[in-house]
A and B are shown apart, each in its own frame.
Chain A
Amino acid sequence: MKFRTRLLISFGVVVLIPLLVFGLGIRREMSRSVTGQYEERVQALVNVINADIAREGDRIGARLATMKNSLKDDNNFRNVVVRGADRSYVLDYAGNAMRMSGLDFLQIQDDEGRVVSSGHFRNEFDRLGPAVSGTTLVRAATAEGPFLTLVTSDTVYITPSHRFRLVGGIAVDSQFLARLARDPELGVALALPRDSTRSDSGKLVVGPPLTLPYIDATDGPGRVEQARIEITRSSALLTALQRNVNLWFAAAVLVAALAALLLAGWLSTRISEPVEARIAIGDIARQVTHDVKNGLAPLRNVFRHLTQVARDKPAELPEVFAERQGTVESSINYLETLAANYAKLSPQSERKATDVNAVVRETIGPSGSVRTKLAEGLPPVSADALVLRRVIENLLSNAVDSLDGKNGSVTVTTEQGKGIVRIAVSDTGRGMSKAELDKAFNDFYTTKPGGTGLGLSIVRRLVMDSNGSLNVETEPGKGSTFIVEIPVQ
């Protein structure tokens, strides 16, 4: 992995992790804030509902108090109660009083709790009514069917020994519940014991439980249970809210990450260029030391030996010199080759309009061993003809070497691309593995015994100096294609 890539990844990690942590923190705070606002609204609604129910109870109580005063002064009612006069007056009393007072439910119960008069259901006469104490929710029977009512009660003495209880209330229907729910995003619903008809799909119950005493008096006096008033909100609303939060969060992280990566890329390039240059110079220095020592060490040893012989046994000098002449020549040849290769590392190029096909033909010469497929009418490229020739020479030399002396073919192809001319040098030789390809362009990497490993490295530099690009397609055992692209003039 290149130093620049490692630097980029490091920058990315260093920048992205705090960014992600920061982003997640913001998201959590946003969710907490939204939830907090919701809880405040729900609590406010709970307080309003409690106050509304208390107010409704007070209103009903006030009407019952008025009714109580009328009843105490009603001689007809007293006559019936005390003397057993016409009972139809009593039976109709509650109906008339209920209509007059604007109530929806009214029972007059005797001391034992039996209904002596019912305003909403005349036929309740003589049944046991609900024992109401304080504001209570009652499920009451009527001729049309049961209904829910919010009731309170009051006590009236017609005579000191004749005590009656007035139980009055207003209907609790959908309009009543709608009046309780003042917040358009929140709903109010009643949850009664043993009520299997409720359907709350898509609704979430929020807030603390609100309870009311409840009596089911549809079939007898019933017993006191607890009904719940539930505050609900739509789950779709919450989901949409969360989706919006997540969407904005993702967009913010994406934009920040892109900005961070761009910055990291810019910084890593700025930092890595000089560092990579120093690494490359260090590598080259080490390699130069190695190569020069390889050439000089044998020379030094031979010279030392010859000096020793000249001093101690001068007569043997010609014979020893002849024996060691080969080593000296071999070292000199090695150093000459080395010098020539290093000279190629700093080419002086002169770019001008160059005919690629002409350079290819000139490089290959009359040799029949290299095939060509040269496109006609290619535009001239901007390159130094000598540089281009050196590139093609190197690639051809590698291609021929890769055949390992076996049968195979080497082909040079030229064609026009978008703004470039493409030169491809293909062979059917040994090809390269992934590991070999990764190292192929490094200085001093070679698979040839005695090779300097500078060929492809030089090719790459020459192509890049010409503002071109160099790519390789290769497969072990099947061959390689080196593709050079040079911009047109």
Chain B
Amino acid sequence: MTLVLIVDDVPAMAEQYAYDLKRLRGYETLIAKSGRTALESLTRDSVDCVILDLEMPGMDGFEVLRSVERLGLRVPIIVYTGTGDYDRCAQAIRLGAYSFIDKAEPMERVT
């Protein structure tokens, strides 16, 4: 069983990712609405992959990436941004993200 953690403060975004990952691949999902909740989940649950929004209030996606690196957590993290600024995605890759996707991409392509 593959467990994917979706981190986004906008519930609709997280819900649609969770629904489609289950529908298209049969992946189980967890939803975290903030960076801090995501870190708690990562240290507690056996997460296989993370989908992470870079823009969140409080602890944003970049801080989550730094914390994951600092805590020595080994998990592939796919980031996305809704700003259309791919420099931010490149910056996230430098901080250890595995890859990045666009929010507008069809879920079939993402999965």
The reply to whether B11 and A330 contact each other, CB–CB distance below 8 Å, is yes
Q: How far is the CA of A448 from the CA of B58 in the complex (A)?
A: 7
> Please, which residues of chain A bring their CB within 8 A of the CB of B34?
449
Closest CB-CB distance, A293 to chain B, in whole Å?
4
> Please, which residues of chain B bring their CB within 8 A of the CB of A299?
12
Interface residue tally for chain B (C-beta within 8 Å): 24
**Interface presence of A323 (CB below 8 A):** yes
Closest CB-CB distance, A336 to chain B, in whole Å?
12
Cβ-neighbour of A286 out of B10, B23, B57, B85 (below 8 A): B85
One digit per residue, 1 when the CB lies within 8 angstroms of any chain A CB and 0 when it does not, for chain B 1-45 equals 000000001111101100110010000000001100000000000
Q: Closest residue of chain A to B57, judged by CB?
A: A446
The reply to whether B16 and A290 contact each other, CB–CB distance below 8 Å, is no
> Please, which residues of chain A bring their CB within 8 A of the CB of B81?
290
> Please, which residues of chain B bring their CB within 8 A of the CB of A291?
82
Closest CB-CB distance, B54 to chain A, in whole Å?
9
**Interface presence of A302 (CB below 8 A):** yes
Q: How far is the CA of A328 from the CA of B103 in the complex (A)?
A: 16
Check A298/B57 contact, CB under 8 A, given A290-B83, A293-B82, A449-B34. no
**Interface presence of A461 (CB below 8 A):** no
Identify the interface centre among B9, B12, B58, B83: most chain A CB within 10 Å of its CB: B12
> Please, which residues of chain B bring their CB within 8 A of the CB of A331?
12
> Please, which residues of chain B bring their CB within 8 A of the CB of A453?
57
Q: How far is the CA of A326 from the CA of B13 in the complex (A)?
A: 11
Q: Closest residue of chain A to B104, judged by CB?
A: A297
Check A327/B16 contact, CB under 8 A, given A289-B82, A293-B104, A294-B82. yes
The reply to whether B20 and A301 contact each other, CB–CB distance below 8 Å, is yes
The reply to whether B12 and A334 contact each other, CB–CB distance below 8 Å, is yes
Check A297/B83 contact, CB under 8 A, given A290-B55, A324-B19, A449-B57. no
Q: How far is the CA of A446 from the CA of B55 in the complex (A)?
A: 11
Closest CB-CB distance, B42 to chain A, in whole Å?
18
The reply to whether B58 and A298 contact each other, CB–CB distance below 8 Å, is no
Q: Which A292-348 residues sit within 8 Å CB-CB of chain B?
A: 292-302, 304-305, 323-324, 326-328, 330-331, 334
Closest CB-CB distance, A279 to chain B, in whole Å?
14
**Interface presence of B73 (CB below 8 A):** no
Q: How far is the CA of A445 from the CA of B55 in the complex (A)?
A: 10
Check A301/B106 contact, CB under 8 A, given A330-B12, A448-B57. yes
Check A295/B12 contact, CB under 8 A, given A305-B20, A447-B57, A449-B57. yes
Q: How far is the CA of A142 from the CA of B100 in the complex (A)?
A: 112
Closest CB-CB distance, A348 to chain B, in whole Å?
29
Check A451/B57 contact, CB under 8 A, given A294-B13, A297-B16, A327-B19. yes
Closest CB-CB distance, A208 to chain B, in whole Å?
72
**Interface presence of B90 (CB below 8 A):** no
> Please, which residues of chain B bring their CB within 8 A of the CB of A293?
82-84, 103-104
Identify the interface centre among B20, B55, B57, B84: most chain A CB within 10 Å of its CB: B57
> Please, which residues of chain A bring their CB within 8 A of the CB of B82?
289-294, 297
Q: How far is the CA of A447 from the CA of B58 in the complex (A)?
A: 5
> Please, which residues of chain A bring their CB within 8 A of the CB of B55?
290
**Interface presence of A202 (CB below 8 A):** no
Q: How far is the CA of A271 from the CA of B84 in the complex (A)?
A: 29
**Interface presence of A450 (CB below 8 A):** yes
> Please, which residues of chain A bring their CB within 8 A of the CB of B10?
294-295, 334, 450
The reply to whether A289 and B83 contact each other, CB–CB distance below 8 Å, is yes
Q: Closest residue of chain B to A286, judged by CB?
A: B83
The reply to whether A298 and B12 contact each other, CB–CB distance below 8 Å, is yes
> Please, which residues of chain B bring their CB within 8 A of the CB of A289?
82-84
Q: Closest residue of chain A to B81, judged by CB?
A: A290
Q: How far is the CA of A105 from the CA of B33 in the complex (A)?
A: 114
Q: Which A420-465 residues sit within 8 Å CB-CB of chain B?
A: 445-451, 453
The reply to whether B106 and A297 contact each other, CB–CB distance below 8 Å, is no
Q: Closest residue of chain A to B37, judged by CB?
A: A449
The reply to whether A449 and B33 contact each other, CB–CB distance below 8 Å, is yes
Q: How far is the CA of A299 from the CA of B15 in the complex (A)?
A: 11
Q: How far is the CA of A243 from the CA of B86 in the complex (A)?
A: 62
Closest CB-CB distance, A317 to chain B, in whole Å?
14
Closest CB-CB distance, A434 to chain B, in whole Å?
16
Q: Closest residue of chain A to B85, judged by CB?
A: A286
Closest CB-CB distance, B92 to chain A, in whole Å?
15
Q: How far is the CA of A286 from the CA of B55 in the complex (A)?
A: 11
Q: What 3 pairs between A and B have smallest CB-CB spacing?
A: A293-B82, A330-B12, A331-B12
User: Beyond A294-B12, A294-B82, A327-B16: 12 further Cβ-contacts under 8 Å?
Assistant: A286-B84, A292-B82, A297-B16, A297-B82, A298-B15, A298-B16, A301-B107, A305-B107, A323-B19, A328-B12, A450-B10, A450-B33
Q: List 15 A-B contacts (CB under 8 A).
A: A286-B83, A286-B84, A287-B83, A290-B55, A290-B81, A290-B82, A290-B83, A291-B82, A293-B82, A294-B12, A294-B13, A331-B12, A334-B12, A445-B57, A449-B57
